Amino acid sequence: MAVIHHTSIKPTKLELLTAWLPARPWYRGGAGEPQLAKAGGFRLDDPQGEVGIEFIVVTDTSGADPVSYLVPLTYRGAPLDGAEHALVGTMEHGVLGQRWAYDGCHDPVLVAQLLALIEGHAQAQAQSVSDAPDREVTRSYTGDGPLRPDFATLTATDDREGTELPVAPGTALRLQRVLQPAPDGRPALPQGAAGHVAGAWDTPDGARAQGLFAVLHAGPRA
Whole-number pLDDT of residue 5 = 52
Chain segment 69-88, per-residue pLDDT in tens: 999 999 999 999 999 999 99
Q: Which residues of the chain have pLDDT under 50?
A: 222
Cβ of 46: how many Cβ atoms within 10 Å?
18
Chain segment 17-48, per-residue pLDDT in tens: 999 999 999 999 877 899 999 999 999 999 99
The dihedrals phi and psi of 23, each to the nearest 5 degrees, come to: -85, -5
Domains held by the chain: number: 1
Residue 43 counted as domain residue: yes
Residue 1 counted as domain residue: no
Instruction: Give me the domain span that covers residue 60.
Output: 9-218
Q: How far apart are CA 23 and CA 96, in angstroms?
A: 29
- Contact partners, residue 10, CB within 8 Å, separation at least 6: 91, 92
- Contact partners, residue 6, CB within 8 Å, separation at least 6: none
Residue 2 counted as domain residue: no
User: What SS3 state is found at 115?
Assistant: helix
Whole-number pLDDT of residue 195 = 95
User: How deeply is 6 buried, as exposed, middle or buried, from its count of CB atoms within 10 A (0-12, 13-18, 19+)?
Assistant: exposed
Q: How far apart are CA 70 and CA 197, in angstroms?
A: 12
Whole-number pLDDT of residue 31 = 79
- Contact partners, residue 154, CB within 8 Å, separation at least 6: 108, 111, 165, 166, 167
Residue 4 counted as domain residue: no
* Cis peptide bond N-terminal to 169, omega within 30: no
Q: How far apart are CA 41 and CA 164, in angstroms?
A: 20
Whole-number pLDDT of residue 69 = 98
Residue 139 counted as domain residue: yes
Which candidate, 53, 159, 57, 181, places its Cα nearest to that of 115? 53
The dihedral sign for the CA sequence 8, 86, 65, 188: negative
Residue 119 counted as domain residue: yes
- Please answer whether residues 188 and 196 qualify as being in contact, where contact means their C-beta atoms are separated by less than 8 angstroms: no
- Please answer whether residues 46 and 2 qualify as being in contact, where contact means their C-beta atoms are separated by less than 8 angstroms: yes
